[in-house]
């Protein structure tokens, strides 16, 4: 069996699905590896580094596709490469079946087996494959670093002979993996941290990291069985808005991380709420690519509203591509390891396996 990976569109994606150390693991597993020329040169990784671990380099994406059983990607390939896939080939990546429904339906009708890793179930056995957690961890960290760079005051409290500088106050909206990492990072850098989430189970995690959890009066635990946030009621939204409006008056930096898989991001920060913030404050919206948690967020732009800067990038992980690629490649290898039948030496689509059944695009 041969696994291959195509170069991503560098205009939108700097990460790669395979690193040299993971190629070595695939070879040890009994698989062969095909890659396109200059696959990760933009990350400082030469083709020779991959070849030393046993990978074969081809001059075009088409050659990789026609000589591989499975194609491993970050994002869904473009139309041309997608249409080159044939019967019984396998495509694995973050395929976003909600957004790419028509494209995926077209190739699944050709009997191409597609697996979308963001659909992995939240079970213990799938933790080593969980690309949402590994990537969100880095995103939460980087969002704090980026927002602090734009904030024009010191972050920790500083006592000097000339006077005392107060610590910056940070609010993290959404206490999932990205939010918890943002809380930990901001706290380590000396900020006073507040957090809010619709899942009451997050309270203990937030407080264990030194943050103060803001509880909406009469809140119930809005959490799915899979551990994700549910959509909230209108009554809850109104109470949440009132609490946040009062809180935002004293907040310097807001990190927005609230997302519902497969849906538009919930709008939590309304225009009138942002207008009560102090001039010089910063909002970093990690949900920008899905519409944003702030009503005023614009993708890949910095908006200035009465001195409040609102930042939203389509892919913050492009600023940490080496670390993000290392983690993603390991997640992908663990998924392949589960899919590959070592005795039969082929890929086994066992739909009784929850991991395979949940991630397969039907």
Task: State in words which class domain 136-318 has.
Answer: alpha beta
Q: Is the dihedral of CA 262, 268, 274, 280 positive or negative?
A: negative
* 199 labelled catalytic: no
Please identify which of the residues 122, 289, 323, 353 carries the catalytic annotation. 122
The CATH code of the domain at 2-119+321-359 is 3.40.50.720
Q: Is the pLDDT of residue 84 over 90?
A: yes
DSSP three-state, residue 272:
helix
Give pLDDT, residue 264: 87
Burial bucket for residue 84 (CB in 10 Å: 0-12, 13-18, 19+): middle
Of 228, 289, 323, 353, which one is the catalytic site residue? 228
Kindly name the residue from 7, 89, 133, 135 that is annotated as catalytic.
133
Q: What is the pLDDT of residue 232?
A: 66
Q: Is the pLDDT of residue 30 over 80?
A: yes
* Four-point Cα dihedral 128, 131, 134, 137, nearest 10: -150
Q: Is residue 278 among the annotated active site residues? A: no
Considering the chain, what is the average pLDDT of its residues? 93
Which residue in 181, 183, 132, 39 sits closest to 327, CA to CA? Answer: 132
- Position 229 scores a pLDDT of 55
pTM for the whole thing? 0.90
Active site residue 252: no
Beta bridge partners of 360: 115
pLDDT at 273: 96
pLDDT over 70, % of the chain: 95
Phi, psi of 308 (to 5 degrees): -90, 120
Angstrom distance (rounded) from CA 150 to CA 64: 43
Q: Is 28 exposed, middle or buried (0-12, 13-18, 19+ CB in 10 A)?
A: exposed
Residue 281 Rama label (left phi>0; alpha psi -120 to 50; beta): beta
Q: pLDDT digits over 285-334, tens only?
A: 999 998 999 999 999 999 999 999 999 999 999 999 999 999 999 999 99
Instruction: Give me the pLDDT at residue 149, please.
Output: 95
In the residue annotation, 39 being an active-site residue is answered as: no
**How do residues 11-23 score in pLDDT, each as one tens digit?**
999 999 999 999 9
pLDDT of 358 reads 96
What are the angstrom distances between the C-alpha of 78 and each of 6, 37, 56, 315?
A: 11, 18, 22, 18
- Among candidate residues 59, 60, 127, 166, the one labeled active-site is 127
Catalytic member of 130, 197, 252, 285: 130
Which pLDDT belongs to residue 198? 83
Domain boundaries, the chain: 2-119+321-359, 136-318
Q: What is the DSSP letter of 17?
A: S
127 counts as catalytic: yes
What pLDDT is recorded for position 201?
Answer: 85
Round to the nearest angstrom and report the end-to-end CA distance of the chain: 23
143-185 pLDDT, tens digit each? 999 999 999 999 999 999 999 999 999 999 999 999 999 999 9
Q: How far apart are CA 296 and CA 259, in angstroms?
A: 17
- Contact between residue 39 and residue 71 where contact means Cβ atoms under 8 Å apart: no
Read off the pLDDT of residues 91-127 as tens digits, 9 standing for 90 and up. 999 999 988 999 999 999 999 999 999 999 989 999 9
* One fold for 2-119+321-359 and 136-318: yes
Give pLDDT tens digits for 177-230: 999 999 999 999 999 999 999 888 899 999 999 999 998 776 555 555 555 555
Tokens coding 198: 């619709």
Mean pLDDT of 342-351: 92
């Amino acid at each position: 069996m041969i696994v291959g990976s195509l170069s991503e569109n560098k205009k939108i994606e700097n990460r790669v699905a395979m690193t040299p150390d993971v190629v070595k693991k695939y070879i040890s597993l009994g698989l062969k590896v095909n890659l396109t020329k200059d696959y990760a040169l933009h990350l400082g990784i030469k083709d020779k580094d991959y070849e030393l671990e046993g990978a074969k380099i081809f001059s075009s994406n088409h050659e990789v596709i026609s000589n591989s059983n499975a194609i491993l990607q970050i994002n869904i390939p473009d139309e041309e490469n997608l249409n080159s896939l044939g019967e019984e080939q396998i495509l694995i990546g973050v395929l976003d079946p909600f957004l790419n429904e028509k494209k995926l339906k077209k190739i699944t009708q050709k009997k191409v087996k597609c697996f979308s890793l963001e659909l992995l179930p939240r079970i213990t056995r799938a933790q080593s494959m969980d690309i949402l957690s590994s990537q969100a961890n880095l995103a939460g960290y980087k969002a704090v670093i980026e927002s602090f760079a734009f904030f024009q005051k010191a972050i920790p409290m500083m006592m000097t002979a000339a006077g005392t500088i107060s610590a910056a106050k940070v609010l993290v909206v959404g206490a999932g993996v990205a939010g918890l990492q943002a809380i930990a990072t901001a706290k380590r850098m000396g900020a006073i941290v507040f957090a809010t989430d619709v899942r009451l189970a997050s309270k203990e995690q937030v407080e264990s990291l030194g943050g103060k959890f803001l509880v909406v009066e009469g809140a119930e635990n809005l959490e799915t069985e899979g551990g994700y946030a549910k959509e909230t009621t209108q009554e809850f939204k109104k109470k949440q808005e009132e609490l946040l409006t009062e809180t935002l008056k004293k907040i310097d930096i807001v990190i927005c991380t609230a997302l519902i898989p497969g849906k538009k991001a919930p709008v939590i920060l309304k225009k009138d709420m942002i207008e009560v913030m102090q001039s010089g404050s910063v909002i970093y919206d990690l949900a920008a690519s899905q519409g944003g948690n702030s009503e005023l967020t614009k993708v890949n732009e910095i908006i200035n509203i009465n001195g409040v800067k609102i930042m939203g990038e389509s892919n913050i992980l492009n600023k940490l591509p080496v670390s993000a690629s290392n983690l993603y490649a390991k997640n992908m290898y663990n998924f392949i390891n589960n899919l590959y039948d070592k005795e039969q030496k082929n890929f086994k689509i066992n739909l009784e396996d929850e991991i395979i059944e949940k991630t397969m695009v039907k």
